[in-house]
Amino acid sequence: MDKGEWQQKGAGHRGRLRDRYLSRGLDGFTDTEILELLLSFGTPRKDCKESARELLARFGTLAKVLEAPAIQLQEVPGVGPKNSFAISFIQAVASRYLQQRIEGKRYLHSSAEVQQYLEHSMRGLKREILSVIYLDSSHAILSSEVVAEGTINVNTVYPRELVQGALTRHAAAIIIAHNHPSGALRPSPQDISLTKNLYLICSYLQIQLLDHFIVGDGVYSFADNGMIDTISRECLKLRETLSRR
């Protein structure tokens, strides 16, 4: 088979994949086929099947391929700057989509979507970040932003900046979330101390801290595990003690 016949065969295969997607969505697609189609956006005249297989062999899952830095993607034979750009771009688009999807929705009715957004945007990061989701008095989601990067603990997060963001948006409640690059989900003593400090400060300003999520190999919720209620009781006792002095 000469080069022209090989390219024509590859183009036909990619065309069939596109037609399958247009008629049935991703139903029946393997992870290899999804990556093959993504890679073809960057190099439409190249057979990308083997590169897709190599990516899955190297990183293990489709999610980990999408989360991988461009420089690591390009270490896989056949994956160049154009291919890695296509993969990283689709990951960024998905994050933007998930973020905008939750805005305006009531948290109590869309908590699963909030967790999905946080897990997608934070999972696999090599550095810690702290994100805040701002809510109004009816717990409708106003917006979200990253407020800190690096080692997240009580000494590196400045409550004044976080609270200022809530006041600027006239938020009545907030949700905070940070990631553990190690994948661990158990809250550290620093995580608990940070949550207590923020809860106490917010309570003085009549801003409710609804939850603190940790994103690792899954998502851990302080509220779902009863820790927000425990912190609330401790902060109430502390405020009562301080008010009697």
Same domain, 64 and 160: no
| Confidence label for 243 from pLDDT (cuts 50, 70 and 90) | confident
Distance CA 96, CA 157 (A): 25
CATH of the domain at 216: 3.40.140.10
Same domain, 40 and 126: no
- Specify the pLDDT at position 158: 67
| Confidence label for 241 from pLDDT (cuts 50, 70 and 90) | confident
Q: Is residue 100 part of a domain?
A: no
Averaged pLDDT, 198-218: 93
- Of 2-6, 141-145, 205-209, the least confident: 2-6
Give the domain extent around 135.
Answer: 105-243
Averaged pLDDT, 50-58: 93
Same domain, 121 and 77: no
Going from the C-alpha of 199 to that of each of 168, 192, 206, the distances in angstroms are 18, 10, 10
Distance CA 81, CA 64 (A): 18
Last-in-domain residue among 58, 73, 95: 95
| Confidence label for 5 from pLDDT (cuts 50, 70 and 90) | very low
Q: Is residue 51 part of a domain?
A: yes
Other CB atoms within a 10 A radius of the CB of residue 149 amount to 13
Going from the C-alpha of 29 to that of each of 20, 85, 116, the distances in angstroms are 9, 22, 22
Same domain, 122 and 225: yes
| Global confidence as pTM | 0.74
